[in-house]
Structure 1
Amino acid sequence: MRAQAYLTLLILLLASCSEKENKPEDPLKAYASSYEIIQGEIWDQTCISCHVSGSSFARQSDLILTADVSYAQLINRPPKNTAALEDGLMLVGDKGLESLYESFLWEKINAPDQEHFYADHPGYGSQMPLGGDPLTNGQIEFIRQWISAGAPQKGDVIDREVLKDTSRFERVAFQPLPLPEQGYQFHITPFEVRPNSERELFKYQPLNNTEPLYISGFEITMKSGSHHFILYNFPETFAPSLLPNENLIRDVYDASGNYVFTTLYHMQFHQFVAGTQVPKVRYNYPEGVALKVPANSGFDMNSHYANRTDETMEGEVYANIYTTSASEVTHIAQILNLNNDNFYLPAGKVTTIQKTYTFDKDRHIFQLWSHAHEHNTSFKVFISGGERHGELVYFSNDWEHPPILQLDPPLGLKAGEGLMLEATYNNWEDRDLAFGLRSTDEMMILFGAYYE
């Protein structure tokens, strides 16, 4: 019996060793750098069937992605596409974050931004891979981080765990958001936007919360054609008797284009909470961080549509805020709203405006989002002061769809340091421009969020 027991134990040990020997190793271990991973796991698997020397696709795009030449083919090369070339894009630049939004490669593979790609850049051709499934969300994120890191050929600069997200973007038509299990939903019901006009409106919805709320994230979806959607609240000291009427549509300007001053009155007290300029967004605050909303609050919903067509457009918006319990919160989020409304743009000139904001307390910034109008060609944000003075931390060259940047880990700034905003405008018109609410006026705003 004892011999049989030893034999059984030996068989189990051998089987265990065999299982360990047969267990597949992580295929990414074979790669020495982040770019080798992009080559082996993305270009080689998905792209070189077309982008190979001698193929018609390679000749048409002037881009070969085989391992012997791909890096040199991509870095700091202008695209062959005429529209992208006229827009000043490179295939991939090496300037970090600034290069991301000036990258033709990024435009071509960024499937979640598909609506913007086809609506605003019809001359850019088709998104890639042509005729196939988009890259996985993990692959897109890996490439995004690689470009943002300066697109190095050597060095392991991106966390390989990113590639484990194998989900893919699926385009869906506008549809209502499901009600949040823990949170609130807001809805601006369908409204008309007349041909060749724009419409901006507000709708106030009380929360009826008897206790403070803690917002941990938000989700917004809008019908096509929207310029932006923003949730505002009012200061805790704002008199309840002065709040807007509940669920009443309040236009910013009337049918003749004149401002509605009763609407403007409430706008001067607004406090930014959340917003977007892309048709659909889901944003989560960092773990343990939440925005505190006082008891008995409400949100003023702001929707802005610009209709450049000859037909009536219909607007509609759904927005969810997701809440968490106070016991889960370690940091209270604060809203960043840096609004420069004092600038002048001469007619027929390109003008760059700079303004620096210095903070009197330490800040940990985890969200940045620029807002400007159609004359804006670039919006940059630099660190001001300290050891990282002059470092670019945000860039957008797309006024219609500026990125909502999530900084993880947050950007830490000490008291006495701050942010310098630099916005460039091309005023091609025969009139001077200044700050204004219409999309034909201009703005220079940096929204965001932080904790102290």
Structure 2
Amino acid sequence: MRRLIAFLILLATLGSGGTAAAVLRAHLARPHRGTQVHLSPYTIGPESEREVCQLVTLRNARAFDASEIDVSMPGSPEFGTHHFAIFLDVRDTPAPPQPEPVSDVGCTGMGGAVVPPLLAFVQHPRERIRFPLHVGVRLKPHQRLFLNSHYINGSAAPITIDVAVNFSAARKGSVQHHARSFQLGTFDIDVPPGAEGSAVGSWTTRFPINVIALSSHSHKHTQSVTVDLLRAGVSAGQQLLTTDYADPSVHSYDPPLRLEAGDGWRWICDYLNMTPGTLRFGVTSNDEMCFATGFFYIDDDAAPLPPVPGCFGQGESLTCPFS
């Protein structure tokens, strides 16, 4: 089916008199235990970027815990991923099949949610998320997911790419804690042309959490990102420093870092704006973002996350863009 879709895209391009898009495929061996899923091929025009979303259904007949998530897609110095995200579809109602990706920013509005719960997020064309021992993510039978790809094509010709994702199953009964993701951001970005500037965000948790990973997400104008730990609102030291937006640092905690209610994070993104326009928050690679990201689990593993004002996630994750 995926080959057929790619072939039809090629025929449509040739029939319109345009330049045929080079079809570049992801290469990823299937996991020994678990399942593999693909984002269907889609085309990015020359010297442009495109962001898409596709609803897919996993083939697993039984629920299982995934201890690793592997993502693979084409990449080169001329083209590559801006990000790839995996969102949960938590609806209990049937959903119509979606045979190909549709243009959409961050899968917003998909599944009836303003922002669906984020399961995982990567920024490299080949990346593996490996959870600590006894930690994983839970996937229901025939779990539905939204696959979100934002890709940049800097070449002079169109390209067609796909994305492969592996969910490697943990040994039955070995996972004691189920990971949730957090994305904590700020919209308060305002840097004049030709100037340096910073964005600052902070967030405190309303309930105890156990952090297993911390990272950051921002765009190409970023000079650095720092993330400090807050204990009862007071800085308890820097936990993360990112100096390359395309290769953000990751701090893994094993054992986990315990945050009690009232603890949290403070993060600062420093920018250099060499463009002729004011730099502000936005969803393209030419705009900016400032996020602290990571994974955590809560003490009551079976419970949904308590509601948090200003955050999305439907009880499965924390996406808090207004911090």
Does the alignment reach a TM-score above 0.5?
yes
Q: 1:387 to 1:246 in 2, by over 3 A?
A: closer
Cα deviation for residue 346 of structure 1 reads: 3.0
CA contact (8 A) 1:206 1:246 kept: no
Cα deviation for residue 319 of structure 1 reads: 1.1
TM-score (norm 1): 0.54
Letter in 2 for 1:251: S
For residues 342-361 of structure 1, what are the structure 2 equivalents within 5 Å?
A: 342-361=188-207
Q: What is aligned with 1:447?
A: 293
Q: 1:356 to 1:332 in 2, by over 3 A?
A: same
CA contact (8 A) 1:305 1:315 kept: no
Q: What is aligned with 2:54?
A: 203
Task: Identify the match of residue 88 of structure 2 among 233, 236, 242.
Answer: 233
Letter in 2 for 1:359: T
Distance across 2 between alignment mates of 1:213 and 1:366:
20
Residue correspondences, number: 269
CA contact (8 A) 1:226 1:315 kept: no
SS of 2:235 mapped into structure 1: coil
For residues 159-198 of structure 1, what are the structure 2 equivalents within 5 Å?
A: 176-198=27-49
Distance across 1 between alignment mates of 2:98 and 2:248:
31
CA contact (8 A) 1:202 1:300 kept: yes
Cα deviation for residue 332 of structure 1 reads: 2.1
Distance across 2 between alignment mates of 1:174 and 1:396:
30
Q: What is aligned with 1:304?
A: 150
CA contact (8 A) 2:233 2:263 kept: no
Cα deviation for residue 320 of structure 1 reads: 0.6
Q: 1:431 to 1:230 in 2, by over 3 A?
A: same
CA contact (8 A) 1:201 1:251 kept: yes
Cα deviation for residue 325 of structure 1 reads: 5.2
The reply to whether residue 366 of structure 1 matches residue 212 of structure 2 is: yes
Distance across 1 between alignment mates of 2:239 and 2:268:
12
Cα deviation for residue 418 of structure 1 reads: 0.6
For residues 286-325 of structure 1, what are the structure 2 equivalents within 5 Å?
A: 286-295=132-141, 297-324=143-170
| Larger-gyration structure (1/2) | 1
How far does the alpha carbon of each residue in 1:320-352 deviate from its partner, in whole angstroms, 9 at most, with x for none? 112235621222222212132343333332111
Q: What is aligned with 2:267?
A: 421
CA contact (8 A) 2:62 2:140 kept: yes
Task: Identify the match of residue 173 of structure 2 among 321, 327, 342.
Answer: 327
Cα deviation for residue 285 of structure 1 reads: 0.7
Distance across 2 between alignment mates of 1:422 and 1:292:
32
CA contact (8 A) 1:204 1:244 kept: no
How far does the alpha carbon of each residue in 1:181-235 deviate from its partner, in whole angstroms, 9 at most, with x for none? 222212234433221111111121112556543221111112111212111113x
TM-score (norm 2): 0.74
Letter in 2 for 1:397: T
Distance across 2 between alignment mates of 1:387 and 1:344:
25
Question: Which of the two has greater strand per residue?
Answer: 2
Which stretches in structure 2 are left out of the alignment for 5+ residues? 1-23, 299-323
- Aligned-pair Cα RMSD in Å: 2.7
CA contact (8 A) 2:26 2:163 kept: no
Distance across 2 between alignment mates of 1:229 and 1:270:
14
Q: What is aligned with 2:315?
A: none
Distance across 2 between alignment mates of 1:296 and 1:376:
39
Q: What is aligned with 2:109?
A: 265
Letter in 1 for 2:50: R
Letter in 2 for 1:265: G
How far does the alpha carbon of each residue in 1:408-434 deviate from its partner, in whole angstroms, 9 at most, with x for none? 232222221111111112222222232
Task: Identify the match of residue 220 of structure 1 among 71, 94, 105.
Answer: 71
Q: What is aligned with 1:247?
A: 99
Identity of aligned residues (%): 25
Question: Which of the two has greater helix per residue?
Answer: 1
Which stretches in structure 1 are left out of the alignment for 5+ residues? 1-172, 254-260
Spell out structure 1 runs of 4+ moving beyond 6 A.
none
Distance across 1 between alignment mates of 2:292 and 2:232:
21
